[in-house]
Amino acid sequence: MSGSVQGYDGLLSGMVSLIEEVRRVSALTVNAIMTATYWEMGRKRFARQCLANPGKDCRTRSSPPNTALCSLTTS
């Protein structure tokens, strides 16, 4: 009977490894999709600001940066 327990342990270990790998890949995929979504939102906002102010150079900032967001990236 100990042989069947060892076989079960191996099967269980394989399942745990599979679940861990799927969780890792899922998290990476969701992060990539969320990053792309936020970049696209920023691109659309930027394009809208440029269209709303046709005579203004859109490459310069019209307002100070959001310090709450900046502090997240600098710390």
For the chain, where are the alpha helices, taking DSSP H only? 2-52, 67-74
The whole-number average pLDDT for the span 1-28 is 87
Domains of the chain, by residue range, sit at 2-60
Angle at 33 between CA 31 and CA 34, to 5 degrees: 65
What pLDDT shows up at residue 54? 75
Give 75's contacts (C-beta < 8 A, 6+ positions apart).
none
pLDDT at 74 over 50: no
What values do phi and psi take at 49, rounded to 5?
-65, -40
What pLDDT shows up at residue 63? 55
What pTM value is reported for the model?
Answer: 0.55
What pLDDT shows up at residue 64? 52
What pLDDT shows up at residue 37? 95
C-alpha 71/C-alpha 61 separation (Å) is 18
